[in-house]
């Protein structure tokens, strides 16, 4: 386990722009407000989306498309730096009119309506390659 204490000095409520990209708007907001780390939760609806599933057996993300309007029953994630740029690591649970759900890593989604609460951390967090998982994970100073 690795860990670090963080302080949240700023919190925001955000209404995403209709027709924009869900994750892209979060990254743009973070850059515009000089946020290099934080966490967020959100809900709303999307017109369509691309989710990813990480296949641990091959160490690769497998994309799948959602080509219909869906409710965003839950969206959560974090902000950190990846290769010097802000990256919104975003997971979502999307539901159809019958209540069936799909979930995964949200790569992109066209916003119908979205509301997000974002808590910014005072200090940046960087992602670095992790040898055990082949993922870019937080680089934290304590633990091993």
Average pLDDT over the chain, rounded to an integer = 96
1 occurs within a structural domain: no
pTM over 0.85: yes
User: Is residue 108 within 8 Å of 26, Cβ to Cβ?
Assistant: no
Residue 59: CB atoms within 10 A of its CB come to 10
CATH number, domain with residue 67: 3.30.1330.80
25 found inside a domain: yes
What's the confidence (pLDDT) of residue 141? Answer: 82
Q: Can you say how many angstroms the Cα of residue 84 is from the centroid of all Cα atoms in its chain?
A: 17
Does residue 142 sit within a domain?
no
The string of pLDDT tens digits covering residues 6-61 is 999 899 999 999 999 999 999 999 999 999 999 999 999 999 999 999 999 999 99
| Domain presence at residue 136 | no
Token pair 């990813």 is found at 52
- Cα angle: 129, vertex 132, 138; to 5 degrees: 40
pLDDT at 20: 98
In percent, the amount of the chain with pLDDT more than 70 equals: 99
Instruction: Answer whether residue 63 is part of any domain.
Output: yes
Name the residue among 57, 63, 43 with its Cα closest to residue 106.
Answer: 63
Question: Average of pLDDT values for 87-115?
Answer: 98
Q: Is residue 141 part of a domain?
A: no
């Amino acid at each position: 386990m690795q860990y670090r204490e963080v302080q949240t000095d700023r919190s925001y409520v955000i209404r995403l722009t209709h027709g924009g990209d869900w994750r892209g708007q979060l990254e743009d907001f973070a850059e515009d407000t000089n946020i290099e780390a934080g966490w967020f939760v959100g809900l709303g609806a999307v017109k369509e989306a691309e989710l990813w599933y990480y296949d641990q057996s091959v160490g690769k993300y497998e994309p799948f498309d959602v080509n219909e309007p869906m409710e965003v029953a839950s969206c959560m994630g974090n902000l950190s730096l990846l290769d010097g740029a802000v990256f919104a690591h975003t997971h979502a649970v999307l539901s159809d009119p019958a209540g069936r759900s799909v979930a995964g890593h949200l790569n992109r989604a066209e916003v119908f309506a979205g509301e997000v609460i974002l808590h910014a951390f005072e200090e940046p967090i960087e992602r670095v390659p992790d040898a055990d998982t082949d993922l870019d994970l937080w680089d934290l100073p304590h633990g091993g």
